[in-house]
Amino acid sequence: MLFDSLEFLLFLPAVILLYWIIPHKFRWLLLLAASYFFYGSWKAEFLVLIMYSTIVDYIAAIQIDKAVSQFKKKAWLIVSLCSNFGVLFIFKYFNFFIGSRSFFQKFEGAHPKVEWLTSFLEYGIPVGISFYTFQTVAYTIDVYQGKVKPERNIGKFALFVSYFPQLVAGPIERFSKLHHQIFKKHTLDYDKLQKGFRLILYGMFIKMVIADNIAPIIDPVFDNPLLYSQGDNTISLLLFSIQIYADFHGYSLIAIGVAKLMGVNLMDNFRTPYFAFSIKDFWSRWHISLSNWFRDYLYIPLGGNKVSYLRWVANILIVFIVSGIWHGANFTFIIWGAIHGLMYLSEQMVVRAKILELKGAFLKGLGFIKTLIVINLAWLFFRSDSVAKAYLSICKMFGAEPTNETYLSIRDVEHAKSHEAIEGILAGGSFEAKTLVFNSIYLIPLLFLIGMELLIQQKRFDGVVDKFPFWLRWIIYGLLIYFVMAMSGADFYQFIYFQF
């Protein structure tokens, strides 16, 4: 059930209406049922995993709180970490580490005990597993560190884990911030309802009009970069940069808006990241909840910056590479994370050495351009199906001639799927060149988005629009509704971050 689907547009009003009609003491039960229905709408089998994670962390947190000795507390924490990351590893990373699913299938006859695993993996990656895993792990660690007390009602804890507005793609909320809001007795607040609908409308516009119209334009280019010119490959990369921003930012705004309709304030996950002046600045604006999670639960436990210089360098690289792996089991994501890590380190080395400070419009402008170039080059690996395809895209963009030997070598190392059309062209076969086709009418909503983002800066759409005159607000609402009704993409595309 996608946020921009007809099913969700029927589901949401029913939930919101019932939420405000029924007595407060029953609201959490409604939300729990709605959240499980929402998650089960993808595949009912996935409910087993989220229930398993819920039960394990519910028990572990209570046992940690009850334990007197540090040994028992740590033992239960390890149980939680191993259980959660074990399930995540099996479903998301198992095939990556063994090369391919066929590895296990070779042994099915001799070892029938593994048949259940290979058949289970056919279900694919459970939607949002990385998000709710990180959220429950953070809860258990916070209980272990004495920051929060465990929830004793398993049903209420299950709602914290599965709260549907932010279940499948964040933001990754902390127990201390989200839990009390869900169970607080809310009164109907017109201002929150108004802001919620604003955010949903703007999020739908960004997702359905911007992201969903870009997807079919650039997908063929990334599937076979050799068929397109240098310019088309470069434009496709820039368009993907817009697509992923619009896709994820649109989702985040819808999630925040939906929660606000029920009186809950979710954290901002975006603050105009493409206006950043450095990689450090970028990560303080992009996917903020994930950045905070890695800072608090990986970087600081590793020692942060209170260690030797070499340890600090290692800590930074570990965090960024793990961040890449979190996004997906592919060498492309590892390289994407490594690029960000190396750029972050190079910037911090300059700052530490006091070689250059980004003061003044000119230097800030250079920092902005440099950051945007690095981010876009890194997106190339993020978007490519394999490092081998990324190699082809890089060659096309920079006017180099890719070789069949290099392509096949990279493909074999990463165990990427073969691509007959690409391999045929590299082997000297004939092909028909294609041209990127983009309807210029979509420049209108794109320019509208850029204009709004320039106005918003590090604030949020609902807060900025709230200060506009009444007549201007309704002109903006009218434009957004028109864009969504008249210019939405012909096909529904799943939010990119749902796969993580």
Query: What is the rounded distance in angstroms from the CA atom of residue 221 to the CA atom of residue 383?
Result: 11
Query: What is the rounded distance in angstroms from the CA atom of residue 236 to the CA atom of residue 287?
Result: 23
User: Please, are residues 185 and 428 in contact by the beta-carbon 8 Å criterion?
Assistant: no
- SS3 at position 270: strand
Q: Which of 172, 141, 143, 162 is nearest to 51 (CA)?
A: 162
User: Please, are residues 292 and 299 in contact by the beta-carbon 8 Å criterion?
Assistant: no
Q: Which of 186, 259, 147, 231 is nearest to 25 (CA)?
A: 186
User: Please, are residues 284 and 273 in contact by the beta-carbon 8 Å criterion?
Assistant: no
| 3-state DSSP percent of the chain in helix, strand and coil, to 5 | 70, 0, 30
Query: What is the rounded distance in angstroms from the CA atom of residue 61 to the CA atom of residue 57?
Result: 6
Q: Tell me the CA distances in angstroms from 387 to 122, 330, 331, 383, one per residue in order.
A: 24, 9, 7, 10
Task: Please pick, among 327, 340, 415, 419, the residue that the annotation labels catalytic.
Answer: 327
| Catalytic-residue membership of 327 | yes
Query: What is the rounded distance in angstroms from the CA atom of residue 59 to the CA atom of residue 76?
Result: 9
Catalytic residues: 327
